[in-house]
Amino acid sequence: MRVVRAAGSRDITESIAILIPMRNEERNVTECVESALASTQLSNFSVTVLNDNSTDQTERLLTDFGPRITVLQGAALPAEWMGKNFALSQLSERSGAEFLVFSDADVRLTPKAISSSVALMQRLNWDYISPYPRQVARSFAELLIQPLLQWSWMSSVILRIAEKSQRPSTTIANGQLFIVRRSAYEEIGGHENIKNEVLDDMELARELVRHGFRGGVADASQVVSCRMYESGKELIEGYTKSLWRAFGGVSGTVLAILILTWTSLTPFYGALTGSLLACGGLVLTTLSRVVVAIRTRSNVWLSLLHPLAILFLLLLIALSWMKKRNGTLQWRGRTI
């Protein structure tokens, strides 16, 4: 796996635009913006935040930064757009920088996070990079589910082969932090080309790959962190909004459920009944979690809760499909 290291940073002379959409993010405004402004080794960078029709204190807190940042007021959401996609599209239209850095409000950058990520992009001659943050988890629901994010693709995709194959089906990306060359972004039509996709990160990366651009995911746990959700309720709402789409459709979802059950729940049940073969399978699956935890600077001991985590994930998948079918999926006050 590629790794973004602070030691690999260098002075970046190309223009950089750090673009952050915010909708009711009062708890994240100050730390997020301050960490972006503290970026080093960028000779020409700007920070632009889009206030996406917030109803809390987001706008007031943004004004505290004065001229150090540019604040845009989001337009009303068109019916055919997903909210985040429309926000990112508006941000990109207002920037002429050579590199676009799309960052979520819950991301915390270290000073060398952007310079080291762009430096790695340039060394690899990539058109985009998805630096994967260290996932911060504190509540029990977070501790169960969040480690599955990186485990799911690190245990199923051989990344170096995926980089070379240029197959959209093996493309991995994380929208918490996504950096792309403006020229490539514009050639694929930007976010307008994926305006109604709930998984904006994956679909943007896939569009780039389909158009012949190169890039990939990289472990950035040394230089970036992110706490996606701060309660079990937020986590459930966040995952159910997109899990129905995560596996491509009904058949993909059924296949994923079967694989997860076979590799995680069946060995656990078999181990309880005394099967040595099942015990071996459970140990190997747990070891895969341990390896990923070490690699991404996560809690190793959470690997022991893997069967429970998978059971919770399967319940979230079922809930997501149920809400999608009933038309009750919502995120941040908007129907999906």
pLDDT given at position 295: 87
Q: What is the pTM of this model?
A: 0.92
Are 244 and 207 in the same domain? Answer: no
Query: Is there a domain that residue 145 lies in?
Result: no
pLDDT in tens, 301-327: 999 999 999 999 999 999 999 998 998
Are 71 and 207 in the same domain? Answer: yes
Packed helices 140-154 and 232-240: angle between N→C axes, nearest 10 degrees: 40
Give the DSSP letter of residue 42.
Answer: B
The DSSP secondary structure of 136-192, one letter per residue, reads ---SHHHHHHHHHHHHHHHTT--HHHHHHH--GGG----TTEEEEEHHHHHHTTGGG
Are 216 and 263 in the same domain? Answer: no
Are 108 and 22 in the same domain? Answer: yes
- What distances in angstroms separate CA 33 from CA 70, 110, 195, 223, 275, one per listed residue? 11, 12, 26, 16, 53
Over residues 116-130, mean pLDDT: 97
Lowest mean pLDDT among 13-27, 174-188, 273-287, 317-331: 317-331
Give the DSSP letter of residue 90.
Answer: H
Query: Is there a domain that residue 150 lies in?
Result: no
Are 213 and 301 in the same domain? Answer: no
Say if residue 255's pLDDT is above 90. yes
Query: What CA–CA distance (Å, rounded) separates 203 from 195?
Result: 10
- Hunting for tokens 């969040």 — which residue is that? 146
Are 221 and 256 in the same domain? Answer: no
Are 223 and 247 in the same domain? Answer: no
pLDDT given at position 217: 93
Are 239 and 206 in the same domain? Answer: no
Residue 78 burial (C-beta neighbours within 10 Å; 0-12, 13-18, 19+): exposed
Per-residue confidence band for 158, with pLDDT thresholds at 50, 70 and 90: confident
Over residues 268-292, mean pLDDT: 94
Residue 52's nearest CA partner among 27, 80, 25 is 25
Say if residue 335's pLDDT is above 80. no
pLDDT given at position 135: 93
Domain range for 83 is 6-133+174-228
Residue 2's nearest CA partner among 176, 163, 231, 147 is 163
Query: Is there a domain that residue 266 lies in?
Result: yes
pLDDT given at position 332: 79
Three-state secondary structure readout of 251-308: HHHHHHHHHHHHHHHHHHHHHHCCCHHHHHHHHHHHHHHHHHHHHCCCCHHHHHHHHH
Domain final position from 228, 246, 272? 228
Are 98 and 240 in the same domain? Answer: no
Residue 217's nearest CA partner among 295, 285, 287 is 295
pLDDT given at position 170: 84
End-to-end CA distance of the chain: 34
**What is the SS3 assignment for 226?**
strand
Query: What CA–CA distance (Å, rounded) separates 201 from 190?
Result: 12
Number of domains in the chain: 2
136-161 b/e (C-beta count within 10 Å ≥ 16 → b): bbebebbbbbbbbbbbbbbeeeebee
Sorted by sequence, the CB contacts under 8 Å of residue 101 that are 6+ apart come out as 16, 17, 18, 19, 114, 177, 178, 179
Are 28 and 54 in the same domain? Answer: yes
Query: Is there a domain that residue 245 lies in?
Result: yes
Residue 95's nearest CA partner among 29, 19, 37 is 19
Are 204 and 278 in the same domain? Answer: no
Query: What CA–CA distance (Å, rounded) separates 107 from 121?
Result: 20
And the tokens for 152? Answer: 């799911």
Query: Is there a domain that residue 168 lies in?
Result: no
pLDDT in tens, 37-61: 999 999 999 999 999 999 999 999 9
Domain final position from 204, 228, 252? 228
Comparing 163 with 318, which gets the higher pLDDT?
Answer: 318
Whichever domain contains 33, its CATH number is: 3.90.550.10
Q: What is the mean pLDDT of the chain?
A: 93
Over residues 225-248, mean pLDDT: 91
Are 113 and 215 in the same domain? Answer: yes
Query: Is there a domain that residue 188 lies in?
Result: yes
The dihedral over CA atoms of 282, 287, 290, 291, expressed in degrees to the nearest 10, equals -150
pLDDT in tens, 99-117: 999 999 999 999 999 999 9
Backbone angles phi, psi at 103, to 5 degrees: -130, 135
Domain final position from 212, 228, 244? 228
Query: Is there a domain that residue 72 lies in?
Result: yes
Query: Is there a domain that residue 159 lies in?
Result: no
